[in-house]
Chain A
Amino acid sequence: MFNSELMKRLSDCFGPSGREKMIRELIMDEIKDFADEITIDPLGNLIARKKGKGKKILFSAHMDQIGLMVTHVDEKGFLRFANVGGLNAKELQGLRMVFADGHEGVICCEELKENEKLTTSKLFLDVASCDKEFIKENFRLGDMCVFKSDYYETDDCVICKAADDRVGCYILIEALKNHPSTDNDVYYVFSVQEEVGCRGAKTAGYSIDPDLAVAVDVTATGDSPDGIKMDVKLGGGAAIKLKDNSLITHPHVKDLLTDLAEKNKIRYQYEILEFGGTDAGPIHTSREGVPSGVISIPTRNLHTSGEIFNKNDVEECIKLLIATAGE
């Protein structure tokens, strides 16, 4: 049964890269009764452990979301900003943004000359106030904001912001709550700063030094009209990644995930993403190397305020992750 209430809370929670405090507290509160041990590492990764004497397994989903950082507040009270994570200037105009304390703004664009290219430097944030004191008081260089957009769902799909990768966090939380009886020593990592270069995963991979790692993250699909040519589709089940720019899935991990899916009658599809990367990138080259793979959630409109995924796919991902924990 899909827990819409939890998914909505995860999606709505503020937490751009480097500012994961609120989302970390939310997840911590959600999982504290289910883990044997919970730690927060120096970079801010939240690591929940289910102890065992067997092999060490690391699961990772990143808590951070893409956002913007204020770089300049001008004398009239307009804000300039830089990307935190991969955003396309073309898609930002007109969007509503929200800060950690709830203040909002809308992204506007300077008038462009003929044939002038739209870049982030042409955009500014209007925070809706003529009161200079209010602006000075509440908006400072370095402050971050994220998309403001409401959670919505139909019978089978969800539209929300930050599905990348809060839906991955959701899957880890649900798997942890239903952790199988096993000898394995399993670490559920809710990582920081994935969107700016998988930095949290790098340190978590080093400190845990696992025998096997599986990242859980969103992936693109090839099933929308203007879509890329790709075999992954919404509703096609859990996607087992075979390759992206950060990882060639270890052949044994590919076989393991495939066999587990077949054995447990979990619907799956293979995924090859010709761009991008996940936490599995830095984890698999950590220390002497870690055989690694990724379970992906097919998601449309990645890195926009309206990412769309399928609830059944999520259920299949949870089943596959639980099966992996018990393997």
Chain B
Amino acid sequence: MLKEFLFDVCSNHFISGFEYIKGDTLIKYFQPYTDSFEKDKLGSYIFKKSGINDKKIMLAAHIDEIGLMITRILDGGFLSFTTVGGFNPATLVGQEVTIHGREKVYGVIGIKPPHVTSEEERKKNHKIKDLFIDTGYSKEELEKLVKIGDIISLNRDPLSLQGSLISAKAFDDRACVAVMLETAKELNKISHKSNVYFTATAQEETGTRGAKTSSYKINPDIGIVLDVGFGKTPDMPSDSPELGKGPILAYGGRLNPKLTRKFAQVCKKYNYPIQHEAMPAKTGTDTEALQVSREGIPCILLSIPLRYMHTSVETIDLHDVEITGKAIARFINELDNSDLEEILCF
């Protein structure tokens, strides 16, 4: 079920700023486990699971993905583009793309042959402004179909690797939207008293904008922010978090220390594995917006270990998603049965 959801939702595109387009997919999966649905005015999706007290817990995982946008239509039918969110240009070379214009237009991003690329040029990194998209159309034909500002998504079907590893574009951060779905499902089994808001936030990649507006709208007592973390590969530092060893719990100024400790205790109690990460200053996640929303929101941050972030082959372990979703449900249950004021007081 989680895999089905992830493959489904990753086959759609939710480029930052254009998240409203494919909302039906989300609604289809979340509606059976939640009581009501609304949006903030920037396009964040908010699914509410009603409780019996007046406490509000907000889960936040961003639905948006990085993408491209047309900046110029060049002679010969080529397209220049800019990025929506952060790309390493090297990951774009050799990609197939879809331009969402008046109609869908397919294209490829290529570079000139190695035979005619000098040593000097090979040493240099590609720059976005030097890359272009080839659609096969002439400029005149293309101008009828696409315009400056049209968005472009990468074509990449989700893929099952061996074991429980899966690979796709946009597991950043849909792996965590799947975590929320698992939590919602799990909360059907475990009772909960608080009102739980599953928020698929918009525009995280361009500056945590949807988290800002949705947290203002919800005005929660507690925030549980979910994002992806840098998973270990041969070219990453040796102490990087590993896939399959559970969520990464963050420690730092953005996070509430007592709430964070509480989460670690709950995981220990129920035998859920977790990993740890120090984030002394920035977290680079929706926490940035949530923590300082209105009068301030005590937050914890959990990250799913993910390899090859911001490429079209982002890779995760499905087990991590499942474990994290279940652990959060337990955490909510434990919070409901604790004195929240006591936990939140410094």
Contact = CB atoms under 8 A, between A and B. Distances in A.
Interface in B202-240: 203, 206-207, 209-210, 212-214, 216-217
Contact of A230 (B71, B84, B147, B217): B71
A290 B41 contact: yes
Contact of B149 (A242, A284, A286, A289): A242
B20 A284 contact: no
Contacts of B72: 229-231
Interface string A276-303: 0000000011111111000000000000
B264 to A, nearest CB: 32
Contacts of B207: 246
B17 A248 contact: yes
Question: Number of contact residues on A: which range applies?
Answer: 20 to 34
B40 interface: yes
Interface string A197-241: 000000000000000000000000000000001110000000000
A142 interface: no
B55 interface: no
Does more than half of chain B's interface fall in helix, strand or loop, or is it mixed? mixed
Interface in B51-88: 69, 71-72, 80, 82, 84
B194 interface: no
Contacts of B216: 287-288
A251 B216 CA distance: 22
Contacts of B149: 242-243, 249, 254, 270, 272
A274 B209 contact: no
B148 A289 contact: no
B41 to A, nearest CB: 3
A285 B212 contact: yes
B129 interface: yes
A291 B41 contact: yes
29 contacts: A229-B71, A229-B80, A230-B72, A231-B71, A231-B72, A242-B69, A243-B17, A248-B16, A248-B17, A248-B84, A248-B203, A251-B17, A251-B20, A270-B149, A272-B82, A272-B148, A274-B71, A274-B82, A284-B42, A285-B213, A287-B217, A288-B40, A288-B41, A288-B213, A288-B216, A289-B40, A289-B42, A289-B212, A290-B41
Nearest 6 A/B pairs, CB to CB: A248-B17, A289-B41, A289-B213, A242-B149, A289-B42, A288-B217
